[in-house]
Amino acid sequence: MSEYQLPEVWENPANMGGAWGGLNQPTAGARFEQELPRGDKPLQVYSLGTPNGVKVTILLEELRELGVEAADYDLYKIAIGEGDQFGSDFVALNPNSKIPVLLDQSGVDPVSVFESANILLYLAEKFGQLIPTDASKRTQVLNWLFWSAGAAPFLGGGFGHFFHYAPEKIEYPINRFAMEAKRQLDLLDKELAKRAYIAGDEYSIADIAIWSWYGQLAQDKLWPRAGHFLNVSEYKHLQAWTEKIAQRPAVKRGLSVEYQSIK
């Protein structure tokens, strides 16, 4: 393999290879006309069962478990491997072309919400559930919610990409991001040794956000062999927390919910 030489100015290669090489482009915006369906439920969710996507379905199922009838939703599949996220209607809801997207049509004017952490916060505040009202406790939940938003890209876009999706295995980036993934797992394990849930004694949206990535990694369900590669079994407190959340009925439903087709 020849050593990569940096060009003076980067240009988009004809074929990057890998699982997403032919789909990603260095430009934003819609690539084709699209009409997304809308159901009659208060909340419309356009998503997929990825770690970011299941955050929303888990929370919605938790809200329904709590008897919040206004949290009823229609769920539509955005097949990101086929480029559904670049259609005109989806881009109008999220200019960044990423799942998940929530459309709240319960009010006079529909409200679009994107970025999974923001959707969790929006729903928790809208319905007054799974986020404390006490200022100090609420701040701890937000600390960890925003930690997850900053940390998970190193796990998914960093470690997961080079470990699983990249067209060739390159030692440096795998070592670099495996190191960071292990540091994050160790952090969570140490914090969960101190308390029942990540932000305190009560289950919250911070647990949902973090479990969707790190809990599923602890179960070795993100990428084939990734959990074994990172030796996730050594994090005993993380493992106990992971199993406790995995057994929640709403979490089970949020992971297995059916998506309607948009086509």
Its domain, for residue 232, covers 135-248
Locate 18 and state its tokens. Answer: 């890998």
Residue 260: φ, ψ to 5°: -85, 150
CATH for 167: 1.20.1050.10
In a domain, 200, yes or no: yes
As for how many domains the chain has, the answer is 1
In a domain, 240, yes or no: yes
pLDDT at 24: 87
In a domain, 14, yes or no: no
pLDDT at 1: 55
Sites in the chain below the pLDDT cut of 70: 1-2
Q: Which residues 6+ apart lie within 8 Å of 192 measured at CB? A: 198, 237, 238, 240, 241
In a domain, 242, yes or no: yes
In a domain, 175, yes or no: yes
Locate 61 and state its tokens. Answer: 């199922």
Residue 260 CA from chain centroid, whole number? 19
pLDDT at 261: 98
Per-residue pLDDT reduced to its tens digit, 220-262: 999 999 999 999 999 999 999 999 999 999 999 999 999 999 9
Q: At what angle do helices 236-246 and 249-256 cross, to 10 degrees?
A: 80
Whether the pTM exceeds 0.75: the reply is: yes
How many whole angstroms separate alpha carbon 212 and alpha carbon 191?
Answer: 17
pLDDT at 228: 98
In a domain, 257, yes or no: no
Residue 70: φ, ψ to 5°: -70, -5
Per-residue pLDDT reduced to its tens digit, 84-99: 999 999 999 999 999 9
